[in-house]
Amino acid sequence: MTSYISTLSLSTATNKSISSQTSTLVKLQKEVASGRKFDVGLDLGSATGEAVSIRAQFQTLNAIVDTNALLSSSLDISVKALENTSKAASDLQATLLTTIGSNSARSVVVSSTQGYLNELISTLNSSFNGTFLFSGINTDSPALTSYEPGSTSKAAIDGSFLSTFGFAQDDPGVSTISASAMESYLDGDFADQFNDANWSANWSSATDEVTSSRISTTDVINTSVSANEDSLRKLAMAYTMVSELGSSDMSQEAFDVVTTKATELIGSAIQGLNNVIGQVGNAQARVSDASDRISIQTDLLNERIIKLENVDTTEASVKLSNAVTQLELTYIITSRMQNLSLLNYL
């Protein structure tokens, strides 16, 4: 029995061969260019699930590393701001000690202390990457109101002084305030202006709760400082005390009470502030350590991904060269076959 072979069947077979070889060629070209399997799912089969899982872990860990980089920057800014605040407080404390018992530099001290208060407020209203660093979890709002005429904080202090003594801070009547009366005021109604309720109502929009961040797959830590920290509140109290109550008409004895109390507050605030700086420094170290550990994990995951998904480019290049040669031969054979016809021999 003879087989039936037509020109059409031969043409169809060769076309299919060319199509298959072209598809293989395209696949090999992409693998050589990318270094990755053309169809990971098809090549890996049941191991595809492992590749997908590892890639998900890899992306999650890289996202945490990116977040940690931002956290490191914000913590750096925060700790620098707190260190500057602590140094400024120490400088003012030293200056105030020289004024006790001396009226010669009172106006200069009062004026400079107003600057310290404004600088403290400006520092605690610092922002980074669109968020306010010292506002607790209320990161979209400045931590403190400005202390200026018309502000709630100044209105509260002015009202407190007026209700206690019956006249304003710039009234000549301040000369009649005794040292004991000033001490009672400072420990009483003035101090009350900085308690939790009045601080939140008149000074601060920050929350006591601070921001927390995931720094690894297992660790979540506090990564900010609130302007409501007791040490920061004490500094605001001391600065306000001197700048608002240091009238040139006040007796030296009464002013000495103010400066002595402010000096004590600043000293206590510095101790507390240094503890806060230590806490932020600890957070910095934990973020850095977490990123280092994650880097080791991602390196291991990446090695596994490469093993699963990548190709041997040398081997793939050899296959590509062979595929090109095979395709060229197929075209040559096809061309010759198309020229074969019985009509040429009739």
* Per-residue model confidence (pLDDT) at position 337: 55
**Residue 126 located in a structural domain:** yes
Model confidence pLDDT, tens digit, residues 271-296: 999 999 999 999 999 999 999 999 89
The 3-state DSSP class for residue 2 equals: coil
* Per-residue model confidence (pLDDT) at position 316: 54
Model confidence pLDDT, tens digit, residues 291-335: 999 989 888 887 776 676 565 556 556 555 665 666 556 656 565
Residue pair 194/230 in contact by the 8 Å Cβ criterion: no
Same domain for 278 and 246: yes
Same domain for 330 and 194: no
**Residue 182 located in a structural domain:** yes
* Per-residue model confidence (pLDDT) at position 151: 96
Same domain for 318 and 206: no
Same domain for 319 and 287: no
Same domain for 325 and 246: no
Q: How many domains, the chain?
A: 2
Same domain for 197 and 71: yes
Same domain for 329 and 225: no
Alpha helix locations (H) across 45-132? 48-99, 106-124
Is the dihedral angle over the CA atoms 74, 77, 83, 89 positive or is it negative? negative
> Which domain covers residue 334, as residue numbers?
311-340
Same domain for 324 and 179: no
Same domain for 333 and 207: no
Residue pair 96/262 in contact by the 8 Å Cβ criterion: yes
**Residue 38 located in a structural domain:** no
- SS3 track for 289-304: HHHHHHHHHHHHHHHH
Same domain for 323 and 246: no
* Per-residue model confidence (pLDDT) at position 181: 97
**Residue 32 located in a structural domain:** no
Mean pLDDT of the chain: 84
pTM of the model: 0.77
> What's the rounded mean pLDDT across residues 176-183?
96
